[in-house]
Chain A
């Protein structure tokens, strides 16, 4: 099993450009999420999804869109890139246990994004 796969690993964007970060998992996990990690800030939740067709905002959703058309894929779209979105982005998936809990999260290796 590949686990959680993120592409690309590195990306440089110009201010105002748009792009999509890809995330795919092969563990049939219902819960998927996107985080950004900045120096000294830990991981901050951008958006998450509890299943296909369902998404919700996290702590820092502004400037990002998501959709969940399949269980396997959870792409993150930057609508108009800004230097403040320079960060390392992580995708994660996990299996829900009941309505408001999840088991361990599996993480991708991250996408390092620079906006100039």
Chain B
């Protein structure tokens, strides 16, 4: 079974709204990473948060990590139509294991 489970599976919002995606995982990790995938394309790395970090920012992205609850969240602020994509969390131990993903649709 996959290490990460993401919630929600699908999310639809209007431009300008914030989008929050959650990721839960099962085992101890060294870091957790978030990726974006546009339809039919390869994955692109967004942000990495280490196990000893609680929060990290990159532009309009904010990631939190709670290792006691084995969970992470990705917040995209002031969303744009161009943010429409699938988003995946990935946990890193000696290998990189992906979650099932959240499909985000941002309407203009």
Please report whether the interface of chain B is mostly helix, strand, loop or mixed according to DSSP: strand
A103 contacts across to B, CB distance below 8 A: 48
What separation, in Å, do the CA atoms of A33 and B4 have in the docked complex?
Answer: 18
Given A104-B45, A106-B45, A107-B44, decide whether A45 and B94 contact each other with a Cβ distance below 8 A.
no
What separation, in Å, do the CA atoms of A33 and B41 have in the docked complex?
Answer: 17
Given A42-B99, A101-B30, decide whether A109 and B42 contact each other with a Cβ distance below 8 A.
yes
A51 contacts across to B, CB distance below 8 A: none
Is B43 within 8 A of A102, CB to CB?
no
Chain A contact residues, CB within 8 Å of chain B: 4, 33, 35, 40-45, 48, 50, 56, 58-59, 90, 92, 94, 98-110
Chain B contact residues, CB within 8 Å of chain A: 1-2, 4, 30-31, 33, 35, 40-45, 48, 88, 90, 92-101
* Given A35-B98, A100-B94, 11 extra CB contacts under 8 A: A33-B95, A41-B100, A92-B96, A94-B96, A99-B94, A101-B31, A102-B31, A105-B33, A105-B90, A106-B45, A107-B44
Nearest 7 pairs of A and B residues by beta carbon: A101-B30, A107-B42, A104-B45, A42-B100, A43-B98, A107-B43, A100-B94
